[in-house]
């Protein structure tokens, strides 16, 4: 069965450490046989979610495109940076838009429920953004997603990558790619 994974980073910063970590895991998933679609949230037109805005103008083109992308994929691979002990507004805003009723009236939450997700995080700090993963796991759990236990928090991430974006620590690289592989295998078993 063809497994499609949507790879999302909660940071759209040009030199994002979370994007680099996500790329390593995505590589692992691809090698295992998955089709991986990288998504840069800043490329979508996603205003800050506001219920009045939604009532007056409906879903933005970006929100509709994001819902369609989630619908087309079997699993989410998410890198969640840590801002002040939690996940970023960019990532949560995207999830909030996905969860809203679709243009045809069907529930957006149904796009997420029952799907598999894996979490990664990277931070220059000692905990590697682990607190952000904890918060994000709670959100995804509430939405009915199955978050696999395989995860990785990369501490001192500003020193962890070489010029080609590879992890200098090869054992860390194996674990991170393994998160992508585990996501692929779990989605395959559930599919
Ligand atoms: C507003 C803000 C708050 C931050 N808070 C934390 C934090 O609580 N814990 C942490 O480990 N790093 C924190 N950082 C540092 C980020 O982990 C760091 O900027 C990281 O590189 C962001 O991810 P990115 O490289 O993928 O953009 C914070 C950064 C910003 C801008």
Global pTM exceeds 0.95: yes
Q: Which atom of ligand 1 is nearest to the CA of 125?
A: 11
- Residues 127-173 pLDDT 10s: 999 999 999 999 999 999 999 999 999 999 999 999 999 999 999 99
CA-to-CA separations, 131 to 102, 122, 181, in angstroms, rounded? 31, 11, 23
Atom of ligand 1 nearest to the CA of 9: 26
Residue 1 has a pLDDT of 72
**81 CB within 6 A, ligand 1:** yes
pLDDT in tens, 79-112: 999 999 999 999 999 999 999 999 999 999 999 9
Is the C-alpha dihedral spanning 133, 139, 141, 146 positive or negative?
Answer: negative
Task: Give the list of residues 6+ apart from residue 68 with CB closer than 8 angstroms, or none.
Answer: none
Q: How much distance in Å is there from the Cα of 16 to the middle of ligand 1? A: 10
Q: Domain spanning 4-190: which superfamily?
A: Flavodoxin domain (3.40.50.360)
Max CA distance (Å), the chain? 51
Domain boundaries, the chain: 4-190
The pLDDT, as a whole number, for residue 45 is 87
Q: Which atom of ligand 1 is nearest to the CA of 129?
A: 11
Measured between alpha carbons, how far is 65 from 116 in angstroms, rounded to an integer? 20
């Amino acid at each position: 069965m063809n497994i499609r994974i949507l790879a999302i980073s909660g940071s759209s910063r040009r030199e994002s450490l979370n994007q680099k970590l996500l790329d390593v895991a995505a590589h692992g998933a691809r090698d295992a046989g998955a089709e991986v679609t990288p998504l840069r949230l800043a490329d979508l037109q996603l205003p800050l979610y506001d219920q009045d805005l939604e009532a007056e103008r409906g879903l933005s083109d970006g929100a509709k495109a994001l819902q369609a992308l989630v619908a087309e994929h079997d699993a989410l691979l998410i890198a969640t940076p840590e801002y002040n002990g939690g996940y970023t507004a960019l990532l949560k805003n995207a999830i909030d838009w996905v969860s809203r009723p679709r243009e045809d009236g069907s529930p957006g939450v149904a796009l997420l429920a029952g799907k598999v997700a894996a979490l990664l995080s990277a931070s220059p700090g000692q905990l590697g953004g682990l607190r952000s993963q904890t918060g994000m796991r709670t959100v995804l759990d509430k939405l009915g997603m199955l978050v696999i236990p395989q995860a990785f928090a990369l501490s001192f991430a500003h020193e962890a990558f070489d010029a080609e974006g590879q992890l200098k620590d090869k054992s860390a690289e194996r674990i991170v790619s393994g998160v992508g592989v585990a996501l692929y295998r779990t989605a395959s078993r559930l599919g």
